[in-house]
Structures are given as structure tokens and as C-alpha cells.
Structure 1
Amino acid sequence: MSSTRRQLHLNAFVMENGHHEAAWRHPESQPRQARSLAHYVRLAQTAERGKLDSLFLADGVALWGNVRYNSHNLFEPLTLLSALAGATEHIGLIATASTTYNEPYHLARKFASLDHLSGGRAGWNIVTSAGQDEARNFNLDKRPDHELRYERAAEFVEVAKKLWDSWEDGAALIDKDSGIYADDERIHRVDHVGKHFQVRGPLNTPRPVQGYPLLVQAGSSETGKDYAARHAEAVFTAQQTFAEGKAFYDDVKARLAQYGRTPDEVKILPGISPIIGRTEAEARQREAELNALITPEYGVKQLSNMLDHDISLYPLDGPLPEVGTHTEGAQSRFDLVTGLARRENLTIRQLIERLAGGRGHRVFAGTPTQIADQLEHWFTEGAADGFNIMPPTLPGGLDDFVDLVVPELQRRGLFRTEYTGSTLREHYGLARPANQHRAKEYAA
């Protein structure tokens, strides 16, 4: 096998008990243990044993869904990943953080801290927060409009980059003999004044090990795709079919040129929830067992949130009602869910079951070989650069993927057998960004 052969990027997307909405009820799950650091240490070390690129934590700043029928225990991800940095050596650590309910200085400092503490393994999943309940936790009656959220997000990332660049590389001299700790001529104020932010700077910590943390984005609306083409280095996305995945992949890659970027600079990583059995029958049985644990009341609440429409007023065994064609919430997920329901003529009950395993992400039940076949097909035929692996149950689902699917991918030459870099950017084959102040100096 050539050492330059293109290889998959695999990211472990972990929820507390797993991605299936009934995971907490599964006999293998331990919902009380899932509130402990030891639980997440085990998951991170398992993913690292599998040589996965990164571990990803989602986040929201409100109580999601219907806590009567499902577990909800979201730890603040930067806090948790800082703890996991000390329990791991290689795997990347990606945290979700909102540009709508934070300030640039605040997040730039937190991610710089995580990047230093982990030796260059930090990543930021940039979200704009689509939930109404989130807005009401931050002095707002309703969420800002979709376009306004993305406008703020663009300026937010611009300011964060300026803050990370406010210390030039090597500005901290740490010269004991001369008594000079830092060359303050190489530390710069930001003096940003924009529509949404006024930030003086500089940051109060040196430039991150990676220059910037890996920048990840998860929105797939038209605005989201354009934002990804401009700012993102990895895109987490949800597509149900290969054709949809291929169309999304080609669309985002085609947008890069207008921002002076090449296709290799952005990695497209669709989500997939693999239900793994040693035989296909065993995998199907596991899927049926999980689906039998679904609580319809919870699924209805989740569906209502996705669609910005109260579905509880309609019969479970009837069709999805008319919910319009647009939402100011998560537009791409709205389109995915309504498209799935109409395309396959699903009842509300059937739609809830289809969404239970991954909230719109693809669910595939099969043997390790069948799952590897699916990943290879999407990868080699231009629908993905890798995948966001979403175990249906934890810790068992991640164990199965690492112990059964990863070796098959390695045998095919599609995935690394050892880490070859020390930073998350190196895992993704991405360059360390140049400091803006050094670039200006060279231009002069």
C-alpha cells in the first residue's frame, strides 16, 4: 500500500448513553455510571485505541427534549475535554460551542487553553443554536433569525482568529538571564469594532499550539454550506442516502474556490450510527430490540422540536401533517426530516422510529464487513472524506466499532494503523495557519 493513499478520517461522536433515544433503557447501558468522569475516560481511551482522529461532544444550553422519558446529562464540553486531555495522548478533542450565546474573547481563551493543555488536540464545532429554549436562558424572548445568527457567527470567528493571532509565535521568550519573559512588540491589540462585537485584545494566553483549533461546522442549510466553505475545516453533516451525500459533498467542495480554498482543506464527515452484529440477523435483532424500547411521547417531542411544529396534536399512525416549507430553527434538519417522511410516505410512528437511532443521521445495521463496505463506498465514490461514528449504545457500541470494524478498514488500507502526528490538524492532514501579523510583515 502506498503511504500517500487517501485514507478515511473517523471521529467518535459520543452521547452519554449512546445515540439511540432508547439507549438508556438498554440492558447494556449504565445511565448512572454515564454521569462519571470514568465513563468518558473509558470512551476516549477506546477511541484512541482504535486510532480514531477525534472524540466529539455535542452541546446545547437548554434542557433538551423530554426529560421524563430520556436521560439528559450534558456536561459542559470544554470542561470535560480538559479532563480527558490528561487521560489520553493522541486523539483529538472537539467541543461544541455556540456563537449566539457566548462572546469571542471568552471562547477564544477557552479553546486556546484546551489546545495548550492537550498539546495541540483541540477542535471547535461552531454552532449558532437553533432552539427557542436556549434563547430564553439568555435574556431573550425568542432565538435570533437564522440569517442573523450566521452573520454573528461569521464575525465571531473573525474575532476569534484575530485573538489567537494576537500573540505571534515565539513572542514568549522566557529568557531568565535577561529577565524578559515576552517580546511585547510581538503581542498585538485586536481593536476590532464590528456590527456585533467590540474587542480590544490581545488574548491573555499565547497562540494555540495548532495556531487555531480545528474549526468544525455542522449546519447544512444554504447559508450553512456557504459558511462552511468560508470557515470550516471539517463539516459534520447528516444525509440518509448516498445520492444526498454525494450532492452535499460536491456542493460544499465547489464553493471553496470563491474563498481561495482547495478541496483538500475541508473534510466532509457524514454521521452514521452503526448497529453491529457478527451476523446480519444478529444486527437486525439488536436494532429491533432498541426500537422496541422507544417511548412514543419522547419521539413526538423530539420530532416537534426538529420541525418547529407541535406534532402531539396528530395521531401516531397518521401521516405527518403539513408543517410548511421553512423554519428559523435548524433548516437542514427540517428539510431532511420532511423529505424522508414524504419520500417514503411514513406515518408519524414510523418516522419517529426512523429518527430514533440518529435524529436524522443514517442508521445502518449489519456485520463489520457490511458496515466497512458502506463506509468504503461513500468514501471512494466521492460522498465523504470520513465519518462521524455515532454508536447507538455506549460503551458497547464503540467497543464493537473499534474491535470489529476498524480492523476491517485497516486490512483494506483505508485507515491508519498508528498515529503519525501529534496534533489534531496533523491527524486531518491540515496545515497550521500562518499568523496574520507575520503574513503582513512578509507582504511588506
Structure 2
Amino acid sequence: MTRQIKLGLSMRYLGYHAGAWRHPEVDPEGASKLSHFVRIARTAEAAKLDMVFLADGIGIRTKDEPPGALCRSAQTAEMEPLTLLSALSAVTSHIGLVATASTTYNEPFHIARKWASLDHLSGGRAGWNIVTSWSDAEARNFNRDEHLDYATRYERAAEFVEVVKGLWDSWDEDALVNDKQTGIFFDPAKLHALNHVGKHFKVKGPLSVKRTPQGRPILVQAGASDQGIDIAAESADVVYSVSQDMEQGRAYYAKLKGRLARHGRSPDELLIMPGITHFIGATRQEAQDKYEKLNALVDPILGLSYLYGQMGDLSGYDVDGPVPEPNNPQVRSIAKGLLELAHRENLTIRQLYTTIAAGFGTRLVIGTPQDVVDDMEAWVEAGAADGFNLCPPYLPGGMDDFIQLALPELRRRGMFRTEYEGKTLRESLGLRKPRSRYEGKNSGAIK
């Protein structure tokens, strides 16, 4: 019998398809309205999904290449995620609330304090998606002309995460005694200063937020590099992967799970959840029609922007003609792979860019509810996934399709819950509460 899986819902922008904002059922300004996200979060919670997720970048990273592409993209206007999740915490009660924050342009104390506060506001449902900022667009918003080099970003990130974890351990579970008779608010032996001094950070502590309902918020990570995998193996509770085929997914799953032992962790302490963008219909033709309908809404100039970095400027070519040789590609290996895909599948330029623009880089699954669930079950059975991060092509309709069509099939096969197992996100995910580094030690307070 297939084991139960975990499901998250990515709700950034108006969906993962580049043409989502032009869909007749979509409010083009929804990504700037609280009501839009309340509808999504409440629907996802009613379906008993594990969490909703907001990816984030601290700048507009979409480029105007070729000219005219930027003004055609809806991936430009969005809200700050932690503010939004704090609002959603007041109108939901069980679903996890996960958001991205960069280790490159934040300080550990900021992140520790904000996410600990969200964990209290939500009753133990907060999660932090750990990323390093990679774009010059973000660097220019924070006093730099270009982003930090790769090695420095990941070295800083590793230390950043350890400092945040240390700050979250500042207060013992029972530190607050609240004795009105004696006037003692907390036990000073149960408050701990971190006194961290490292290459990138010097942080004394303690944190000014008491220990959270989950012990600490859930840590989420998405890195596929060796440095990212090391951070995930040491600290992450959940990893969002971007594998495009099952063999790639199995290899990544085995590599990451195999590295946990180095950090004294077991495989069941980390959940790997590949992203998928789904187009679901009562028949395969209906699912394909939904896919083609959205593809037709991608303006060619915007579509070409999805190929610009990999293939160069193709605006001088017929988009319904064959894919030419790459023109000064930024990453030759990616360009080579795209050209091979185009030749193998006999794709036109338009067909190639819609393949990418349809899911913002996630794997596409097109078919009936049975087809979609067969695919998910195969990945789990093959040891390539513990669950999935759902990335609907448009919102809220793409989410509704999954919940109404695919979720009943998952439940029929015994693959997904009918009720939440607990109140916190950690309980829903089946992950144990972490021990404090000070447990069993009366190290005292601020020194």
C-alpha cells in the first residue's frame, strides 16, 4: 500500500503559467488583494493540504529582454510575503504558512524574530524558506552594484541558518514562570545568550521572543547545488525540488537523504517535495485543451523572454518556425539541452517557449485525475518524493481543479489524509519537535 504523501500549495503571483493573468476567470490584480489569498488559503485548508507557500524575490528580476517583454509580465507586482501570511494566520487555523526570506539581504536576528512571531500568531504553523539572493536586480536595491559571489553567498547562508536556529533556542520551554506573588516573570537560568562570533555575523542574543509552539518554525530549502544540499541535510525539514524526470528525482532524493547521517539525522526527518504544475481534465483531451488555452494567452514577446538568457534574442525569427542555433547563450549547457529538446520533439520556437512558460520551470503533468495521481504515486513508489509542492497554472482555478478532481482519487488510494493530525505544521508533516541546544543545561542568562 502506498504511504500517505504531503501536499503544499504554491500561491505566488496569479499562478505559474505566464499567461495566467489573462485567463478569463482570473482577476489580474488578485496578487495585490488580501481577499484573493484568503480564498486560496481557506480552500486549501478545507482540503486539508499541509501548507501554502509564498516564494519571493526582493526586487523585480524579470528583464525587458527582448524589449517590450517586461510590461507584458504579471510577475512584477506582488506583496511582501510575511505581512501577507500574518494576515492569513488570523483567518485560518490548521494550514501551514511558509514564506521565503533571503540570507543575503537580511540579518539573522530579523529573521529569527519575525518568524518566531509568525509561529506564535498562527499557533505553530510558520515555515521559513531559506534562499540566497542571486540577481543583480536585488543587489541594486541593497547598496550593491552586483550580487555576492556564489561561494560567499552560500558560506554566509550556512552561518546565517545556524545563528537563527541558535536564537530560536534562547528561551527554554518553561522559562516564563509568571509568578505574580513573587514578581518573577521568568527563570533567569532558562534564558540563554547565543554569543555567536563567526566570519559573517556577530550576534549576542538572546532573542526577544519566547520559544515557539513548534520549538522552532519549519525550515524549508530548495537548493540543488552541493552547498545547498549541505544546508538542507543539516537543517531543513522540507526541501522543494525541481527534478524534471523520475530518474533525476530518484538520484536527488537518494543523494540528499544519504547525506543526513553526517549530521546525525535519519531519512524520515526530512521531506522532499518536488514541484509540479498540473493541467487536469475529465478526459485527456480536456486537460490538453486547458493547456493550449493558456498557451495561446502568452504574447510572443513575453514568451521569447523565457528563452532569452538561454538561447539569445530570437525576436527576428518566425515564432512558428524551427528553433535556430543559440545566439550567444548565457549558459551553454542549458542552451544545448533546449536545442536538443526542440529537435527531438520537433518543436517550433513558440512550442519551446510555452513549454517553459507554462510552469515557470516546474515539471508539467497533463491528463485525467487518474493520470495525475498515477504520476504522483509512481514518484513516491520509486523513491523520488515524499509529497509534492503544487504549482497551479492559474489561481484560484488551477487549485480548484486539483482539489475537486485529483484529491478524491488520492484519497481513494489511501494516499492523503481526510483530517489534520494535529494543530501545528510540524505535527501535520509528522516531524518531531526539535530539542533545544540548551536542554538539560542551566547555562544561565545574559553574560
Corresponding residue for 2:391? Answer: 390
Shift of 1:181: 1.4
Residues 1:56 and 2:53 aligned together: yes
Identity of aligned residues (%): 51
Rounded to whole Å, the distance in 2 between the matches of 1:266 and 1:181 is 37
Corresponding residue for 1:83? Answer: 87
Corresponding residue for 1:157? Answer: 161
Aligned pairs for 1:156-175 within 5 A:
156-175=160-179
Q: Which amino acid aligns with 1:425?
A: R
- Once the two structures are overlaid, the 10-residue window that deviates more, 335-344 or 380-389, is 335-344
Corresponding residue for 2:24? Answer: 27
Corresponding residue for 2:3? Answer: 6
Residues 1:210 and 2:211 aligned together: no
Question: SS in structure 2 opposite 1:438?
Answer: coil
Question: SS in structure 2 opposite 1:89?
Answer: coil
Q: Which amino acid aligns with 2:231?
A: Y
276, 285, 294: which is aligned to 1:281?
A: 285
260, 263, 266: which is aligned to 2:267?
A: 263
Corresponding residue for 2:185? Answer: 181
Question: SS in structure 2 opposite 1:11?
Answer: strand
- Once the two structures are overlaid, the 10-residue window that deviates more, 115-124 or 143-152, is 143-152
Distance of aligned partners of 1:259 and 1:400 in 2 relative to their CA distance in 1, 3 Å threshold: same
Shift of 1:350: 3.5
| Structure 2 residue ranges without an equivalent (≥5) | 63-68
Question: SS in structure 2 opposite 1:437?
Answer: coil
Distance of aligned partners of 1:178 and 1:439 in 2 relative to their CA distance in 1, 3 Å threshold: closer
Residue 279 of structure 2 contacts residue 367 of structure 2 at CA under 8 Å; is this kept in 1?
yes
Rounded to whole Å, the distance in 2 between the matches of 1:20 and 1:324 is 23
Shift of 1:340: 4.5
Shift of 1:341: 4.2
Distance of aligned partners of 1:340 and 1:425 in 2 relative to their CA distance in 1, 3 Å threshold: farther
Residue 260 of structure 2 contacts residue 266 of structure 2 at CA under 8 Å; is this kept in 1?
yes
Corresponding residue for 1:323? Answer: 329
Residues 1:195 and 2:193 aligned together: no
Corresponding residue for 2:142? Answer: 138
1:174-194 CA deviation, whole Å, 9 max, x = no partner?
Answer: 222222211122111111111
Q: Which amino acid aligns with 1:12?
A: L
Residue 320 of structure 1 contacts residue 348 of structure 1 at CA under 8 Å; is this kept in 2?
no
Q: CA RMSD in A?
A: 2.0
- Once the two structures are overlaid, the 10-residue window that deviates more, 105-114 or 399-408, is 399-408
Distance of aligned partners of 1:440 and 1:403 in 2 relative to their CA distance in 1, 3 Å threshold: same
Corresponding residue for 1:356? Answer: 357
Question: SS in structure 2 opposite 1:68?
Answer: helix
Q: Which amino acid aligns with 2:16?
A: H
Rounded to whole Å, the distance in 1 between the matches of 2:381 and 2:291 is 27
Shift of 1:322: 5.5
- Once the two structures are overlaid, the 10-residue window that deviates more, 188-197 or 290-299, is 290-299
Corresponding residue for 1:226? Answer: 230
Shift of 1:406: 1.0
Rounded to whole Å, the distance in 2 between the matches of 1:337 and 1:234 is 31
Rounded to whole Å, the distance in 1 between the matches of 2:308 and 2:441 is 50
Shift of 1:10: 0.3
Q: Which amino acid aligns with 2:434?
A: P
Distance of aligned partners of 1:441 and 1:30 in 2 relative to their CA distance in 1, 3 Å threshold: same
Q: Which amino acid aligns with 2:238?
A: A
Question: SS in structure 1 opposite 2:194?
Answer: coil
Question: SS in structure 1 opposite 2:439?
Answer: helix
122, 130, 133: which is aligned to 1:126?
A: 130
Question: SS in structure 1 opposite 2:216?
Answer: coil
Rounded to whole Å, the distance in 1 between the matches of 2:33 and 2:133 is 26
Rounded to whole Å, the distance in 2 between the matches of 1:322 and 1:174 is 66
Residue 341 of structure 1 contacts residue 347 of structure 1 at CA under 8 Å; is this kept in 2?
no
- Once the two structures are overlaid, the 10-residue window that deviates more, 376-385 or 175-184, is 175-184
Shift of 1:299: 3.0
- Once the two structures are overlaid, the 10-residue window that deviates more, 317-326 or 290-299, is 317-326
Q: Which amino acid aligns with 2:326?
A: L
1:73-116 CA deviation, whole Å, 9 max, x = no partner?
Answer: 22111100000011111000001000000000001000000000
Residues 1:339 and 2:337 aligned together: yes
117, 120, 139: which is aligned to 2:121?
A: 117
Q: Which amino acid aligns with 2:80?
A: E
- Once the two structures are overlaid, the 10-residue window that deviates more, 309-318 or 252-261, is 309-318
- Once the two structures are overlaid, the 10-residue window that deviates more, 112-121 or 362-371, is 362-371
Residue 115 of structure 1 contacts residue 208 of structure 1 at CA under 8 Å; is this kept in 2?
yes
Corresponding residue for 1:69? Answer: 72
Question: SS in structure 2 opposite 1:125?
Answer: strand
Distance of aligned partners of 1:150 and 1:337 in 2 relative to their CA distance in 1, 3 Å threshold: farther
1:159-217 CA deviation, whole Å, 9 max, x = no partner?
Answer: 00111111111111122222221112211111111111111111111011111111110
Distance of aligned partners of 1:112 and 1:408 in 2 relative to their CA distance in 1, 3 Å threshold: same
Q: Which amino acid aligns with 1:422?
A: K
Question: SS in structure 2 opposite 1:354?
Answer: helix
Corresponding residue for 2:410? Answer: 409
1:363-414 CA deviation, whole Å, 9 max, x = no partner?
Answer: 1111111111111111111110000001111111111111111111011000
Question: SS in structure 1 opposite 2:297?
Answer: coil
- Once the two structures are overlaid, the 10-residue window that deviates more, 140-149 or 113-122, is 140-149
1:109-136 CA deviation, whole Å, 9 max, x = no partner?
Answer: 0000000000000001000011110111
Shift of 1:325: 5.3
